Amino acid sequence: MAELAMRGGAPVRPQGYPRWPVHDERDVEAVTRVVRGGRWGGFPEPGPMAAEFGARFAAYQGSGHGVVMANGTVTMEVALKALGIGWGDEVILPALTFAATPYAAMAAGALPVFCDVTPDTLTLDPDQVETAVTSRTRAIMPVHLGHQMADMDRVMEVARRHSLAVVEDCAHAHGQRWRDRGAGSFGELGSFSHQSLKLLTAGEGGSLLTDDEQLARRAHSLIDCGRPKDPDEKHYTFGANYRLGELHAALLLVALERFPDQQAERAAAGRRFQELAAQVPGVRLLPPDPRISRWSFYCYVLLIEPEAFAGATNRLVCEALEAEGVGCGWTRRRCRSPWPSGPPCGRPCTWTRTSSGPALAGSRTRSRRSPRCSATRRSWPGGVRGTPRGCPGRTGPSPGRTSAGRGGSSPAARPAGERRPATRGPGGWRAAP
Ligand SMILES: Cc1ncc(COP(=O)(O)O)c(C=O)c1O
């Protein structure tokens, strides 16, 4: 067998990757036009470029409205605030995600409640969501992680049953479709990042999608220092400046023109990667959920069996791959969960990135780290809680919940003094009193 590159052998893949972000004269011209036009900033909000991109991207994902803002973290904070979620409320999200997801809940003033992920997709486990719902729960934030999507059939069903809002974190899921419906169009709101590493990028930026005109108006107001956005200019909010500038929006418009072809190319490269990686002993692939009807993965997440790599750590395997010229990142921590079914518990995860170009694997990523899955209900810094399946006191239906659809929670069934979940009436989403 040839010597590993990390031990001085020749790398198997010396050719590198195409430059990212992909750009050409169209980007230069778009930026030049904005510079010459003198309308650089995002005020008055939305700027013409931001408005055009928001509408086009929303249409691409199958949503009615797109609100463009500074990044894919504030999009989620704004989503929760637009729904009236804040102090005293709980938001359920997966323990395996980027820090931005729980940050957004806390920035809105709510308490993030972590649930574990399923072994086959590493996305939010709907069974655990059931056990984590309390009378204070207001929303679920599924994360479409890596090359997968959360089980939107189950997540939406649980949300409907408990009258909860859904805010999808689609930072990794531009262009993906679940049963032919776009990521970000299932819940009340869908959040996307346009940061440098993301599939549709302007270096920075974020999009918040919704079908609800009133939520869109509220989001516009929240990112524009609270200015009213209704026709009568009466409804102020408590907002700040989260606007995106027109230079970035112009780059996003050009990036969106390229996106469909890049998406198809990336999906083909991903399938080829999967075929080849399946032949490597000790590599456990997590094939994309068959309900994903259009694939545009951000990075391919796989698991390794340490025994097959002579007990090597996740980190060492990634460093070896990097030395061979294969872009790779890793999670530092092992999942610890009480599941009897085993994986992903105790299994390290490896992230492999596939490019939009013809190459098998793509641009290098920095290490990605995930929070440890909780084995027992326990305290987290800042008062954040983990709520694993079977947690004492968390089994069975929550008090105050009914099986009525969204907006159908029964006040009679709720103990006195408990907060009402978010409800949608004729006037739109109502904040809990
Ligand atoms: C899952 C997830 N959500 C949200 C974000 C936040 O996006 P941004 O960097 O645009 O704030 C990221 C960024 O990497 C992410 O990976």
CATH number of the domain bearing residue 141: 3.40.640.10
pLDDT of 328-383, one tens digit each?
Answer: 887 654 443 332 233 333 344 455 443 332 222 222 222 233 333 333 233 333 33
Ligand 1 binding pocket includes 101 (Cβ within 6 Å): yes
Q: Is the pLDDT of residue 210 over 70?
A: yes
pLDDT for the residue 329: 83
Q: Identify whether residues 125 and 41 lie together within a single domain.
A: yes
Q: What is the mean pLDDT of the chain?
A: 82
pLDDT on residue 272: 95
Distance, C-alpha 308 to centroid of its chain: 32
412 found inside a domain: no
Name the token pair of 390. Answer: 């079977």
Choose one of 361, 381, 398: the last residue of a domain.
361
Instruction: State whether 350 and 249 are in the same domain.
Output: no
Measured distance CA(333)–CA(307) in Å, rounded: 17
> Tokens in use for 242?
């989260």
Distance CA 266, CA 257 (A): 15
Span from the CA of 124 to the centroid of ligand 1 (angstroms): 16
Give the number of C-alpha atoms closer than 13 A to the C-alpha of residue 104, restricted to the C-beta side. 28
Instruction: Provide φ and ψ at 167, rounded to 5°.
Output: -120, 110
Q: Does residue 242 line the site of ligand 1, with CB under 6 A?
A: no
| Cα(185)–Cα(365) distance, integer angstroms | 28
Per-residue pLDDT, 351: 52
Contact 359, 15 (CB under 8 A): yes
For helices 100-107 and 74-82, give the axis angle rounded to 10 degrees. 40
Does 131 contact ligand 1 (Cβ within 6 A)?
no
- For residue 169, report the distance from its CA to the centre of ligand 1, in Å: 8
Prior bond of 112 cis (ω within 30°):
no
- 3-class DSSP state for residue 165? strand
Q: How many domains does the chain have?
A: 2
State whether the beta carbon of 92 lies less than 6 angstroms from ligand 1: no
| pLDDT bracket for residue 406 (50, 70, 90) | very low
Task: Give 292 or 399, the one with higher predicted confidence.
Answer: 292
| Tens of pLDDT, residues 119-138 | 999 999 999 999 999 999 99
Average pLDDT over residues 10-18: 93
Indicate whether 247 belongs to any domain. yes
pLDDT at residue 428, as a whole number: 54
352 inside domain: yes
Using CA atoms, how far apart are residues 102 and 99, in angstroms rounded to an integer?
6
Which residue's alpha carbon is nearest to atom 16 within ligand 1?
98
> H or E segment at 192?
strand 189-193
CA–CA separation, 373 vs 117, rounded Å?
A: 8
202, 224, 254 - which closes a domain: 254
Q: Are residues 109 and 84 in the same domain?
A: yes
Q: What pLDDT is stored for residue 306 in this prediction?
A: 87
Q: Domain check: are 336 and 190 in the same one? A: no
Say how far apart CA 394 and CA 230 lie, in whole Å. Answer: 42
Per-residue pLDDT at 314:
86
- Could you give the 3-state DSSP secondary structure of residue 144? coil
Note whether 325 and 190 are same-domain residues: no
Q: How far apart are CA 114 and CA 93, in angstroms?
A: 5
Q: Is residue 76 part of a domain?
A: yes
Around Cβ 29, how many Cβ atoms within 10 Å? 12
Lowest model confidence (mean pLDDT) among 4-8, 18-22, 191-195, 363-367: 363-367
**Distance from the CA of 433 to the center of ligand 1, in angstroms?**
31
Residues 161 and 279 in one domain: no
Q: What is the pLDDT of residue 422?
A: 56
- Atom 3 of ligand 1: nearest residue by CA position: 171
Whether residues 247 and 267 share a domain: the answer is: no
> Nearest-5° angle of CA 8, CA 14, CA 18?
145
The Cα diameter of the chain in Å comes to: 74
Structural domain boundaries enclosing 287: 260-361
Instruction: With CA atoms as reference, report the closest residue to 356 among 234, 236, 265.
Output: 265
Domain ends where: 222, 254, 286? 254
**Has residue 416 been placed in a domain?**
no
- Mean pLDDT, residues 215-241 taken together: 98
pLDDT of residue 128: 97
Query: Per residue in 259-314, pLDDT tens?
Result: 999 999 999 999 999 999 999 999 999 999 999 999 998 999 999 998 999 999 88
Report field, pTM of the whole predicted structure over 0.85: no
Q: Is residue 393 part of a domain?
A: no
In a shared domain, residues 213 and 353:
no
Judged against a pLDDT cut of 50, whether residue 181 lies above it is answered with yes
Whole-number pLDDT of residue 414:
37
Q: How far is CA 395 from the centre of its chain?
A: 27
CA of 310 to the centre of ligand 1 (A): 34
Mean pLDDT of 405-409: 33
Q: What is the CATH number of the domain that holds 322?
A: 3.90.1150.10
Per-residue model confidence (pLDDT) at position 1: 73
Say how far apart CA 152 and CA 137 lie, in whole Å: 18
Q: Per-residue pLDDT averaged across 87-101, rounded?
A: 97
Instruction: Answer whether 75 contacts ligand 1 (Cβ < 6 A).
Output: no
| Cis? peptide before 344, omega within 30° of 0 | yes
- Mutational pocket test of ligand 1: of 147, 170, 195, 370, the residue with most ligand atoms within 8 Å of the beta carbon: 195
* Averaged pLDDT, 106-110: 98
Residue 380 lies in a domain: no
Residue 158 has pLDDT above 60, yes or no: yes
Q: Which residue has the higher pLDDT, 384 or 162?
A: 162
- Does the residue 39 lie in any domain? yes
